[in-house]
A and B are shown apart, each in its own frame.
Chain A
């Protein structure tokens, strides 16, 4: 049993031929493309290094806590870069006319799925690692330590270390879910541009449309609730009776899935979109908040399972003899 498991793990992770993808991407962006390509690489890496060093220097010099902004920047970067790196994962194989050759080999659908995901996970990890020194500097730099009125030295960093760790876990799991979603869509579509379109529309809906709806319906719900007895009006039951409650709770619940909202909630008790009791209702129904990384990981698992199932069907389609 153990041998079987270790063989499977080795086939999926250690000896997965699909890991070649990472080499290809590395070469495409850093080594090939002739003189012009190399020059562009040097310029891009140079500019990036300057920006990074400037950030480091500024944090060290002025002792500013930019951890909030950095976390948002990290989230934006991951949200944009992950779909961009993933959208052509499987549909690109079809467009490149390599898919049939791949199907003819003894690669299992699991190997293809994991192989496609592996270097993207490394890429996500790389982005997180890049931000880590900046975030730690923000937290520990001397500028944060200043005497209060009683003479004690206090720290007023925006985030505790635990919160920062949680934020990193949240962003990693979010990026993984996003990558898995794009991979799943990619297995379903024939053209990469379709995958990109679906991913973009889904992201915009999830990250922009849902908060807008929440603002709209959450507000309406609150106005209606004021007519009721205060002690009960914020209960889920009262909202359900008001007729707006399900949508309000649904949208409030959905917004808790938004990673940007989660980052916002890390340092603030108040909720932009709903009252604390509505938040509790949502919490009761959705079971969200501090377990968000687990929910993202769960979503990743579901998307990967979907991708695996789709590839399995493509690999050996069933037929009904006529």
Chain B
């Protein structure tokens, strides 16, 4: 088992009587893409800022690559690429000058900088805009430029706070692809968002925050299994509502069926809480057909990130 690259233990941040973040613990390994989900004001940005060494936690500890980021912020910063939620760019500079400035700020030599600028421009697909003025770029391109800026020093950890907010669908897809590629390159990424479908495609781990608490965290599959221990099957009889009564009675008598309920609606769909695996599921279908039930649909209703979020959170805000 490799050692975690980023580790946070019981991080807490208060502003007077207001608790912004309460006891957050995290453990991320190289290549992990951690989706930080939560409504506005949940404490995501505060947590990310603490991990970026820009905010001092009230209590708790955190390390990146074994270095205590609270005690040695200057030593840790070169390991971090931080993209703030609301970011600004210097106007009246060209794209390459902007990146060259940050590369120089990370103490790279002139020769190194040239190579770095070329590398990050290519990675973020901005090579064509090399000589364009920063203020002339679209919002999506500026987001990519900001991400490129985070990559000039080849950090091990990327902290991306709402990287796709305010972008059109195409730009959003481009950013998602880019983050996926960075994860494949072995970077540990924390990406926050309150838009769930945005994260579900590329995050292997998620954490859900509400009212300054991390309610649940872990890999997506495990969380879904935790929240939904039984498989949810949706079985629709061909003859509609009239046939759903006998179908439900038959189902309830079968092994590994915990519960069967008729769903609202006129197609007579029966929802089944099923504890068996895939082969038992196939056996169930076969039995139903053998017993003469005419079925037009037999599907598993898998929980998605949205269901998880709704199940875990209460909708209350700080």
Contacts and interface: CB of A to CB of B under 8 A. Distances in A.
Interface residues of A, number: 27
A97 B53 CA distance: 17
B93 A106 contact: no
Interface in A90-114: 96-98, 100-107
B84 A15 contact: no
Contacts of A1: none
B88 A98 contact: yes
B282 interface: no
Contact of B56 (A15, A17, A107, A317): A317
Contact of A105 (B77, B87, B92): B77
Nearest to A103: B54
A27 B106 contact: no
Contacts of B97: 20, 23
Contact of B101 (A20, A100, A321): A20
Contacts of A317: 56
B78 interface: yes
By size class, the interface of chain B is 20 to 34
A291 interface: no
Interface string B52-75: 111011110000000000100110
A107 B52 CA distance: 16
B104 A15 contact: yes
B21 interface: no
A193 B82 CA distance: 28
A317 B92 CA distance: 31
Contacts of B253: none
B91 A97 contact: no
B87 A97 contact: yes
Contacts of A32: 92, 133
B105 interface: yes
B159 to A, nearest CB: 10
A319 B89 contact: no
Contacts of A106: 74, 77-78, 105-107
Contacts of B270: none
B73 A100 contact: no
B54 A100 contact: yes
Nearest to B84: A100
Contacts of A318: 56
A24 B101 CA distance: 12
Contacts of A284: none
Interface in A7-24: 15, 17, 20, 23-24
A180 to B, nearest CB: 23
Nearest to A319: B56
Query: Taking each of A17, A102, A107, which has the highest tally of chain B beta carbons within 10 Å of its own beta carbon?
Result: A17
Nearest to A17: B104
Query: Taking each of B70, B73, B88, B102, which has the highest tally of chain A beta carbons within 10 Å of its own beta carbon?
Result: B88
Contact of B84 (A27, A97, A315, A319): A97
B90 interface: yes
A107 B105 contact: yes
Interface in B11-55: 52-54
Contact of B74 (A20, A28, A316): A316
A147 interface: no
Contacts of A101: 82, 84, 87-88, 102, 149
Contact of A23 (B54, B57, B73, B93): B93
Contacts of B84: 97, 100-101
Interface string A259-298: 0000000000000000000000000000000000000000
A151 interface: no
Interface string B127-142: 0000001000000000
B66 to A, nearest CB: 19
A322 interface: yes
Contacts of A28: 91-92
Given A32-B133, A104-B77, A106-B78, A24 B93 contact: yes
Contacts of B59: 321-322
B191 interface: no
Given A20-B101, A105-B102, A319 B70 contact: yes
A119 to B, nearest CB: 13
B220 interface: no
A20 B92 CA distance: 10
Interface string B89-121: 111110001000110111100000000000000
Nearest to B88: A97
Contacts of B101: 17, 20
Interface of B: 52-54, 56-59, 70, 73-74, 77-78, 80, 82, 84, 86-93, 97, 101-102, 104-107, 133, 149
Interface of A: 15, 17, 20, 23-25, 27-28, 32, 96-98, 100-107, 315-319, 321-322
29 contacts: A17-B101, A17-B104, A17-B105, A20-B90, A20-B93, A24-B93, A25-B92, A28-B91, A32-B133, A98-B88, A98-B90, A100-B52, A100-B54, A100-B84, A101-B87, A101-B102, A103-B54, A104-B54, A104-B80, A105-B106, A106-B74, A106-B77, A106-B106, A315-B74, A318-B56, A319-B57, A319-B58, A319-B70, A321-B59
